[in-house]
Structure 1
Amino acid sequence: MSIKFGTAGVPLSSAETSTEAGILRIRELGMDAMEVEFVHGVRMKEDKALKTGGTAKKERVSLSCHAPYYINLNSSETEKIEASKTRIIHTARIGRILGAGSIVFHPAFYSGDTSATVLARVVKELSDVRQELDQEGNQVILRPETTGKPSQFGDLGETIKIAQEVPGVLPCIDFSHLHARANGQFNSYDEFCAILEQTAEGLGEKWTSNAHFHISGIEYGPKGEKRHLVLQEADLKYREILKACLSFGIQGTVICESPKLEEDALILQKTYQELKAEH
């Protein structure tokens, strides 16, 4: 399958809440990917990461990691920027031991600054992070995520520009976030194609052959994202997203962040397989 599907975190039906048990459950469910959620801090030790990574390799489950939420590369306080960089690096180090291919994170807030000012700062700070990881031989891809609120830095154009400026960086495109950020736009086949086309034109084959997406239902208002919803309770046209991905020949991973994690991830996978059979 050219796109792998999985859950943001351990499936809810997993016998235990450990990452390792989650990987085994993903395989039982017939899926191929899981995002390890370090959103409240990286609390996994190296020996545990090594064992868990071994299980993922054996079960052929692709892993990615979500770095802690407390990241803002545009903070007015230097120590907060340094702490943010440390969180990304720590996630990347454990991610490498796990065998994860990507580290997803929310890059920054505008905090009253212009898009160009924030972009320059994010590029500078991420270049430092990348340099440190490269010196360690850590080739894990850093993936700034498109964000769900207009107050957060990270629309599609900004996210593509970071990846153009810093080697070893590619976007995590969260379709639900883009839909919520624009208060209901980006919800048709043509709009999804435009998103993919803009990214493919900006980043080329290195992205189209290794894309990373988040999809879930989402509740939103004029200020953007409110909360994730079950696919069937939301207006996001996920079928059209997957159809657009097929049209563009996209390869990569779709991670589902719905409250019904594996249920909705399986719906996405089944929908994709049906569309692929028709294609």
Structure 2
Amino acid sequence: MTVSHAKRQNKLLFGTAGVPISSPKPDTLSGIKQVRALGLDCMELEFVHGVRMNDKTAADVQAAAKEHNIALSVHGPYYINLNAAEEEKLVASVKRIYDSARVGNLCSAQNIVFHPAFYLKDDQKTVYDRVFQRMTDLKNTLADEGIPAILRPETTGKATQFGDVDELLSLSAEIDGVLPCFDFSHIHARDGKHNTYAEFFQIFEKIENRLGKEGLLTMHCHISGIEYSAKGERNHLFLDESDMNYKDLMKVFKEFGACGTIICESPNIEKDALLLKKTYEEADV
């Protein structure tokens, strides 16, 4: 699978990380219906504490997503480290990604997002090589089982975590069926930079240079307000209560003609998702 095999949207979709707060019920089926009622387009299934959806429910989720024309993605469990020193933790990490992809496929979700690894005490190249091998093996397993997942390692918010933009673009250029999840809040929080029009523009140029135009037409992104320190990400905030420069970011999305999905992870997920969508639609380019 190459970049071109990722499901290409013909526009930029906006949605929520999990079931909207305003949903009458907190379950996934109600959430999908509420996303559509709000005028949003996509929703990320939050498997962050474990993949606990059975196959019957997954089939119902797929049907609901089709009925309401909602694009789904999956956020895998937090407890993943493809650089784990202990074999038990490594095996468990790979299984969590695999389970996310298998159940996500049953739900019609192709994009499988996860935090890839920690450096621990290892150097950058050693960790890159380990993550590369483990993701290659996992992609081969998924391909053998006919699971057309796009594995989306997420840009991470701390310097202790593997997953800056360059690392993930390199993985994506080298491994069939792997593409980044660009968490722009994490990118900003990682070093307190990458929050100006010029810096956003440079990131998009880098994406196009490494992955081609298709890389910009199959994007999957997270955006929220973010609190951070010298050590990186601390927690998510409302967009307008943070320094996240989402207005210029939306302008750059529009200028590059980027397509795909934007998932809002602010505490008020649907309000900020709608704010992002409105800002994008009104951006003057």
TM-score (norm 1): 0.97
Q: Secondary structure at the match of 1:197?
A: helix
Q: Which residue of 2 aligns with 1:175?
A: 184
The partner residue of 1:218 within 226, 251, 275 is 226
Alpha-carbon displacement from aligned partner over 1:33-58 (angstroms, at most 9, x marks no partner): 00000000000000000011100011
Distance, in Å, in 2 between the alignment partners of 1:112 and 1:222 is 19
> Which of residues 202, 206, 210 is equivalent to 1:202?
210
1:141 aligns with 2:139: no
Deviation at 1:136, TM superposition (A): 1.0
Distance 2:76 2:29 in 1: 18
Aligned partner (choices 112, 117, 120) of residue 111 of structure 1: 120
1:77 aligns with 2:108: no
Q: Which moved more, 1:195-204 or 1:125-134?
A: 195-204
Q: 1:256 aligns with which of 250, 264, 267?
A: 264
Return the match for 2:238 from 206, 226, 230. Answer: 230
Residue among 40, 43, 46 paired with 1:37: 46
Q: CA deviation at 1:156?
A: 0.6
> Does structure 2 retain, via aligned residues, the 8 Å contact 1:213–1:255?
yes
Rounded to whole Å, the distance in 1 between the matches of 2:124 and 2:276 is 34
Q: Give secondary structure in 1 for the equivalent of 2:95.
A: helix
Counterpart contact for 2:173–2:211, Cα < 8 Å: yes
Partner residue in 1 for 2:27: 18
- Structure 1: distance between partners of 2:204 and 2:126: 26
The whole-number CA distance in structure 1 between the counterparts of 2:185 and 2:136 is: 28
Q: Which residue of structure 1 aligns with residue 3 of structure 2?
A: none
Return the structure number with greater relative CO, CA threshold 8 A, min gap 6. Answer: 2
Letter paired with 1:13? S
Any idea what the Cα deviations from partners look like across 1:13-45, whole Å, max 9, x if unmatched? 000111110000000001110000000000000
Say which SS state the counterpart of residue 83 (structure 2) adopts. Answer: coil
Q: Residue 161 of structure 1 aligns with which residue?
A: 170
Residues 1:190 and 2:198 are matched in the alignment: yes
Asked if 2 retains the 8 angstrom alpha-carbon contact of 1:62 and 1:101, the reply is no
**Could you list the runs of 5+ residues in structure 1 that have no partner in the other structure?**
none
Instruction: Identify the residue that residue 122 of structure 1 maps to in structure 2.
Output: 131
Q: Distance in 1 between matches of 2:179 and 2:66?
A: 23
State the 1:87 CA deviation. Answer: 0.4
* 1:67 aligned residue: 76
Distance (Å, rounded) in 1 between the aligned partners of 2:213 and 2:207: 10
SS of 1:14's equivalent in the other structure is coil
Give RMSD over aligned pairs. Answer: 0.8
Partner Cα separation in structure 2 for residue 128 and residue 60 of structure 1 = 33
Task: Note if contact 1:243-1:272 (Cα within 8 Å) is conserved in structure 2.
Answer: yes
Whether contact under 8 Å (2:101, 2:110) holds in the other structure is: no
Residues 4, 31 of structure 1: 8 Å contact kept: yes
Is the contact between residue 17 and residue 269 of structure 2 (CA under 8 Å) also seen in structure 1? yes
2:277 matches 1:269: yes
Question: 1:128-183: CA deviations, max 9, x gaps?
Answer: 1100100011111100000000100111101111111211000000000010001x
The answer to whether the 8 Å contact 2:43/2:70 transfers is: yes
TM-score norm. by structure 2 comes to 0.95
What is the deviation of 1:80? 0.9
Other structure's SS at 2:187 match: helix
Q: What is the rounded CA distance, in whole Å, between the counterparts of 1:57 and 1:195 in structure 2?
A: 33
Question: What's the secondary structure of 1:204's corresponding residue?
Answer: helix
The percent of aligned pairs where both chains have the same amino acid is 50
For 1:254, the aligned partner's letter is I
